Amino acid sequence: MVTVALLAATTGPAADASAQAQPGSLPAVAAAEPFSPDVAALLPDTLRGTRPNIVLVVSDDQTVDSMRYMPYMQGQRDSGAYVFFTQAETNNPLCCPGRASILTGQVDTRTGVENNTQAGNIRPAETLGSPLRDVGYRTGLFGKLLNGYNESGGVWPGWDDFQPIESRNIYAQYNYDVLNNGVREHYASSPEDYQVDVVTAKSLEFIDQTPAEQPLFLYVAPTATHTPWVAAPRHQNAFADTTIPLPANWAEADVSDKPAWVQQLPLPGRGGAISQRRKQYAAGLAVDDMMRAIDERLTATGRMDNTVVLFISDNGLSSGLNRWPSKICELRGCASIPFVVRYPGQAGRTETRLATNIDLAPTVVDLAGAVLPVQPDGISLVAALEDPEGTVSTRDGILQHWGGGDQNGSFAQDKEGTPGFYGIRTDQWRYVELTNLAVQGATEFELYDQVNDPGEMMNLAAVPAYAAIRESLQGQLYAMIRATGATPGEPQGSWRPAGSPPPPSGVDFQLRNSNTAGTPDLSFSYGLAGDVPLACDWDGDGIDTPGVFRAGVFQLRNSNSAGKPAKSFAYGQAGDVPLCGDWNGNSVDTIGVFRAGTFYLRNSNSAGASNLTIVYGEPADTPVAGDWNGDGIDSIGVVRSAGWYLSDKNRAPKTAHQFTFGKLGDQPLVGDWTGSGADAVGVRRDERFLLRFALAAGPPDLSFAVGTATDVGLAGDWDGAGGSTIGIVRGL
């Protein structure tokens, strides 16, 4: 049996005096024992599928430069015990999304955890615990789980020993609560209550209690390296007299090439920057102690010679690099994370191949011979770890994303909020598309040479000589976005420079809850000019909500409010006419398109082949769909001039209703105007709605004006009360 330990900055009991930091100097480096040739000779050719013990330690907001101020870990690296990934970066540069990605192997848009308020979107059964326990591991989790976690989250499936820290006071290191397998334990303010030491002790106990013949998976997550950087009593002021150098891109003077949000940043103060670093480095010494203690306990229990150790942080911290003081940005200071690996049979080395936090879960299950319960976006690094010559490639690029705003996704004026972005990091380049609603196209672009300009002080995006590189990187980025089920080219958030005029109005949905003239009961923006709007019950809750069709991509929203699409996927082609309906009677509406006299209907709101392909009507017809007989299934139809041709079914359809209503140039509408359960017809002409209660020629039963002549009409059940009412869409 082989033991694998994955490390990410944490802490443990006090180290011996030789490892204590002395004023005015770096701490002494502890001796380290790399794997001996004799031990390596006894190991299998590969650790893949050998069910090693796995220890994963995840630190908090830790910077790469802080690692050299951790004497034990730095000593291990210097003596050849660690594989150090120098080009490791995170998918989303924030705590909660980063941790969700580590636990699942998926990017933030797949986990649904895109900021610190969305921990509830994670699906606990889809995290690492269950697949590892299923193949025989004893599993334990200690420390920080996700932001906002409390006892209502319960004990997650797949964990034999589940002891997360409740979010209240989680960073203060004192006066906090541990939920010990659902039972609350309170820790007060005594030195022995220091959080990192408590988490360390629990981790060591877990190692001791695991039978020697059973593999263990230990997940440890201390928080000391997160602001307010509370050091252990033994480490107070450890670096008070140490000279702390600042990198060349700290407080970057000329940011004229940077996006508007960076140009608005003030220059940070040197004294504050040094003070912050001293605090974080001192707090990190407890994490260093934790790593020493775990290694020593693994050695004492006979596991160390077969242990793989990986150490990673959830995100970086810019600390004034390129002027930005915090995390959540598109630049290296926010994205770069410490990541080191102790791997049996492999000598330590500097590893320049790309790696990211979404690679952790695939790596762990690859070692364990397990399978993740969800399709990961990350890759296993096992082959690369076992390839010191560098012949095995890892990835062509790292996908990076932020949805915009502060840590809660808010753009409140009294809080810091950065623009949303998508970006790609390759071996040589970082390319970013960043939202700024005050510029044409709502996007600013960044391109940095990671080899010749690692401090990212020269944005090359506007330099003509780099146009071909930028175009190639955009293609790679868009392919990666599509692979995760998202849509490229979309604004991420609503940032614009302070003091700039409001952006031009977007596409506005204005919905009425009655079929009468009046002001909207619901009004919100969704989509872009040029979109084709539609509305249906996408999730089966009885309420119709908006969607738009843009160049072959459906973007569907599950509430009548502004926000991001709940689903975004490609189906059909640019130029198709979109429609939607309940094609199979399961109370959920799904999409379809009409192209040149043919309907292509899909039974799920996802990309894929059509489930029904129906030739009906003529190429220039306008398609419609509705439940013409009240049986719960929507059938297709077409409108030609003012003639309505409605089919009786979607397979081998025949025209069941044929009549004239409206006139040439009207916009056809379909809805259950009376609440009978069966749909009827209507048209929008200029600013008026003309609604007919029967599938037959005749005068309108209702006629009223809403909006202006340039608005587009819409119909749906906006409040779940039954029946259909009208709406307009403006700004298309």
pLDDT at res. 133: 98
Other CB atoms within 10 Å distance of the CB of residue 499 = 7
* Measured distance CA(326)–CA(695) in Å, rounded: 62
pLDDT average, residue stretch 40-64: 88
Q: How many CA atoms, within 13 angstroms, populate the side-chain half-sphere of residue 726? A: 27
pLDDT at res. 38: 52
* Measured distance CA(394)–CA(406) in Å, rounded: 32
- For 574-601, the pLDDT digits (tens) are 889 999 999 999 999 999 999 999 999 9
Say if residues 401 and 128 touch (Cβ distance below 8 Å): no
- For 73-83, the pLDDT digits (tens) are 999 999 999 99
- For 488-545, the pLDDT digits (tens) are 888 898 888 877 765 545 688 999 999 999 999 999 988 888 889 999 999 999 999 9
pLDDT at res. 19: 37
Place of tokens 């810091």: 416
Residue 151, SS3? helix
Supply 652's token pair.
Answer: 């081998």
DSSP category for residue 628: S
- For 448-497, the pLDDT digits (tens) are 999 999 999 999 999 999 999 999 999 999 999 999 999 888 889 888 88
pLDDT average, residue stretch 174-203: 97
Largest CA distance in the chain: 95
* 476 membership: H or E segment, kind and range: helix 467-483
Supply 693's token pair.
Answer: 């209660």
196 has pLDDT over 80: yes
660 has pLDDT over 70: yes
Strands 88-89 and 355-356: parallel
Written in H, E and C, the secondary structure of 539-555 is: CCCCCCEEEEEECCEEE
What letter represents residue 427's amino acid? Answer: D
Task: For the chain, state the CA radius of gyration.
Answer: 29
* 277 membership: H or E segment, kind and range: helix 270-300
Q: Which of 257-271, 342-356, 404-418 has the lowest mean pLDDT?
A: 404-418
- For 322-339, the pLDDT digits (tens) are 999 999 999 999 999 999
Prediction pTM value = 0.70
Q: Nearest-CA neighbor of 468 among 431, 443, 424, 423?
A: 431
pLDDT at res. 502: 59
pLDDT average, residue stretch 428-441: 91
- Beta bridge partners, 56, equal 6, 310
Residues 6+ apart with CB under 8 A from 274: 244, 246
pLDDT at res. 115: 95
- For 260-314, the pLDDT digits (tens) are 999 999 999 999 999 999 999 999 999 999 999 999 999 999 999 898 889 999 9
* Measured distance CA(369)–CA(50) in Å, rounded: 7
* Measured distance CA(430)–CA(99) in Å, rounded: 23
Supply 35's token pair.
Answer: 């794997």
pLDDT at res. 416: 58
Mean pLDDT of the chain: 91
Q: Nearest-CA neighbor of 297 among 5, 75, 50?
A: 5
- For 80-133, the pLDDT digits (tens) are 999 999 999 999 999 999 999 999 999 999 999 999 999 999 999 999 999 999
- Beta bridge partners, 645, equal 638, 658
pLDDT at res. 152: 87
Residue 603, SS3? coil
Residues 6+ apart with CB under 8 A from 43: 2, 306, 344, 345
Q: Which of 32-36, 428-432, 716-720 has the lowest mean pLDDT?
A: 32-36
